[in-house]
Amino acid sequence: MIDVKLIRENLDALRTALTNRGSDINLDAVLELEGKRRQVLHEAEQLRAEQNRANDEIARLKKNKEDASGAIAAMKEVSQKVKALEEKVRDADNALREAMLIIPNTPDASVPIGPDASANRLERQWGTPPEFSFTPKDHVELGEQLGILDFEAGAKVSGARFTVLRGLGARLERALISFMLDTHINEHGYTEILPPFMVLGASMEGAGQLPKFAEEAFTIKDRDLWLVPTAEVPLTNLHRDEILSGDALPICYAAYTPSFRSEAGSYGKDTRGMLRQHQFDKVELYKFTAPEDSAEELEKLTKNAETILQKLGLAYQVVTLSTGDMGFCAAKTYDIEVWLPGQNTYREISSCSNCTDFQARRANIRFRRDKKPEFVHTLNGSGLAVGRTLIAVIENYQQEDGSVIVPEALRPYMGGLERIAAQT
RNA sequence: GGAGAGGUGGCCGAGUGGUUGAAGGCGGCGGCCUCGAAAGCCGUUGUACGGCCUUGCCGUACCGAGGGUUCGAAUCCCUCCCUCUCCGCCA
């Protein structure tokens, strides 16, 4: 959530920011709701102050055993008025909050302005896409031939957009998870968290998933529980309604969770293989920082995610998303895109965002260094999407005979195995 | 699932209708004492919103959440949530 004061004091700047994001929010309507709330609140407070003064007087009279019936009778009417005004305040509050909850974060000044992905800015590239002396296969063909990816079984058990991993495929997924977590914990100083995979609606709202993106998430029937669409949701809410100590920052968490997404609106997109699934594993990086540190921490976090690809020897590039391509909560986002020979292109494998105080405001996460509590900044990034990393490993390390070389960094996690070959 | 107990300030813990934002203690901060520290003593110590003569003062709200009763609710009533104990069930 953005600061209401921005609407009151910096309306034009905010209007520009939202236009750049392609948002069609009617700020004048929000401004009016804000003014209305303040006016009604003031009225209610005035009357309540009067009521409080009278109540003290009644208390005094009673204490002195004097007659208070006149004062009490007079206050009956005031009491009714106060009730009516309080109702109005509640309505005004709710209306304003509803409006505020669907306003996206304002973009950082360093973000390229543009309508969509075409305006994204390439920051850097690492490694070189492999050259093959044969026509490379995609992960579907490779995985099926090796007997490690079973798409039919996935469809039979759970329907479209589910895949079953078998044997060394399952082992490879597990190896990747452990490898990523170990790297971030031992080398990058993150604390490992294993959060619940289901969260309350309040947690979804705190992380910015609700109310706007209810369609994107899976929910549990008849309960206020949602399957996490990303570990970002439980991690954000780990410190909901807390005031952290200033010297505890930055707090850095790394968490493995599955991510559940309905992928509503992406029908027909990436239907082949396991590039886009209803359920995929992800190791998530998350930070709570002081406001002045968040820009630098985003750079570090992104590099931490890149380290995984470098250790695995996978070529990638980093792009800054444009104002039109960024997510709802983000002020700035770097996407990391890994080279996929099966698609002959770079594909997103990580998204690293600085959400500034947007989530902190929604989830009420603050810290104290002087007197006043201040909102923290929150950052998140995939480090990395495990399923897509598995695809990248299989496709980039494929051999002409259809076997796959295991990257050296993963061998300790695969019992020393150097090559995945078809089981005969 | 059944039975019971409980949710109060950073923490512990009093408080069953009227100066209670809330006793007392711990912790924190400032001061005295000390060569320094500890101990001791004195003082101070929440958050949000709004207003103003804007380094402070004033108003309002907040005792799990939401409703209700009342001139007045931490205190009485209702609903919900959470925690703990015992039994049952279960990985």
- Would you say the C-alpha torsion A291, A197, A326, A102 has a positive or negative sign? negative
* Distance, CA of A264 to CA of A324 (rounded, Å): 20
In tens, the pLDDT along A70-110 reads 888 888 888 888 888 888 888 888 888 888 989 999 999 99
In this prediction, residue A261 carries a pLDDT of 94
pLDDT of A424 over the 70 cut:
no
If we measure between CA atoms, which residue out of A271, A380, A279 comes closest to residue A329?
A: A380
- Which pLDDT score is estimated for A164? 96
- Count each helix (H run) and each strand (E run) in chain A, helices first: 12, 17
For A131-277, where are the E strands, in sequence order? 149-150, 164-165, 191-193, 198-200, 225-227, 242-245, 251-260
**A196: preceding bond cis by omega (within 30 degrees):** no
Strand order, beta sheet including A365-368: A242-245, A365-368, A373-375
pLDDT in tens, A259-305: 999 988 787 889 899 999 999 999 999 999 999 999 999 999 999 99
* Percentage, residues of chain A above pLDDT 90: 65
- Asked if residue A407 has a cis previous peptide bond (ω within 30° of 0), the answer is no
pLDDT range class, residue A67, cuts 50, 70, 90 = confident
The answer to whether residue A322 scores a pLDDT higher than 90 is yes
CA A370 to chain centre: 29
pLDDT of residue A194: 93
DSSP letter assigned to residue A223: S
Chain centroid to Cα A58, Å, comes to 54
Q: How high does pLDDT run on average in chain A?
A: 92
- CA(A70)–C1'(B71) in Å? 10
* A291 class by beta-carbon count within 10 Å (0-12 exposed, 13-18 middle, 19+ buried): middle
Task: Yes or no: say if A357 and A373 are a contact pair by the CB < 8 Å rule.
Answer: no
**CB–CB of A188/A253 below 8 Å?**
no
Average pLDDT estimate for A316-335: 96
Evaluate if residue A60 carries a pLDDT over 90.
no
User: Residue A244: its pLDDT value, please?
Assistant: 85
pTM of the model: 0.93
Which nucleotide is the nearest neighbour of A76, by CA and C1'? B71
Tens of pLDDT, residue by residue over A244-259, are 888 888 999 999 999 9
| pLDDT tens-place string over residues A134-170 | 999 999 999 999 999 999 999 999 999 999 999 999 9
Which nucleotide shows the minimum CA-to-C1' distance to residue A59? B18
Strand ranges, E, within A83-217: 121-126, 149-150, 164-165, 191-193, 198-200
Token digits of residue A287 = 């930070």
Q: How far does Cα A132 stand from its chain's mean position?
A: 37
Structure tokens at A55: 């109540």
Residues with CB under 7 A from strand B: A 4, 38, 41-42, 44-46, 48-49, 51-56, 58-59, 62-63, 68, 72, 75-76, 78-79, 82-83, 90, 243, 366, 368, 371-373
Q: Binning pLDDT at 50, 70 and 90, where does residue A6 land? A: confident
Give the distance, in angstroms, between residue A373 CA and nucleotide B47 C1'. 9
What is the separation, in whole angstroms, between the first and last Cα of chain A?
A: 56
For A352-384, what is each residue's pLDDT tens digit? Answer: 999 999 999 998 888 888 777 889 999 999 999
- Nearest nucleotide over every DNA/RNA strand to the A47 CA, judged by C1': B60
Res. A183: pLDDT tops 90 = yes
Tokens of A336: 């990391």
Distance A52 CA to B24 C1' (A): 28
Chain B positions within 7 A of any protein Cβ atom are 10, 18-19, 47-51, 59-61, 67-68, 71-72
Residues with Cβ within 8 Å of A33's Cβ and at least 6 positions away in sequence, in order, are A92, A95, A96, A99
Two structure tokens written together for A149: 């990816």
Is there a contact between A277 and A158 (Cβ–Cβ < 8 Å)?
no
Q: CA-CA distances (angstroms) from residue A152 to A107, A144, A155, A421?
A: 43, 10, 5, 21
Q: Which residues contact A388 (CB under 8 A, 6 or more apart)?
A: A275, A280, A338, A347, A348, A349
Query: Is pLDDT larger for residue A163 or for residue A1?
Result: A163
Give percent above pLDDT 70 in chain A.
100
A59 CA from B73 C1′ (Å)? 14
Give me the CA A335–C1' B34 separation in Å, rounded. Answer: 61
* Nucleotide with smallest C1' distance to residue A60 CA: B18
Closest residue, CA to C1' of B72: A55
- How many other β-carbons are positioned within 10 Å of the β-carbon of residue A131? 7
The number of angstroms, rounded, from the C-alpha of A138 to the middle of its chain's C-alpha atoms is: 30
Query: Quick one: which of A316, A335, A322, A314 has its CA closest to A382?
Result: A335
| Nucleotide whose C1' lies closest to the alpha carbon of residue A200 | B81
Helix (H, G, I), strand (E, B) or coil at A167: coil
Q: What is the pLDDT of residue A83?
A: 87
- Using alpha carbons only, what angle is made at residue A341 by residues A335 and A343, rounded to the nearest 5 degrees? 70
The nucleotide minimizing the C1' distance to residue A54's CA is B71
The set of catalytic residues of A is 261, 276, 348, 351, 388
What are the backbone angles phi and psi of residue A367, rounded to the nearest 5°? Answer: -140, 160
In angstroms, how far is B22 C1' from A371 CA?
Answer: 22
Q: How far is the CA of A87 from the C1' of B26 (A)?
A: 41
H/E stretch holding A23: none
* SS3 assignment, position A41: helix
- Rg (Cα) of chain A, in Å, rounded? 27
Tokens 């886009």 sit on residue: A276
Backbone φ, ψ for residue A323 (5° rounding): -55, -35
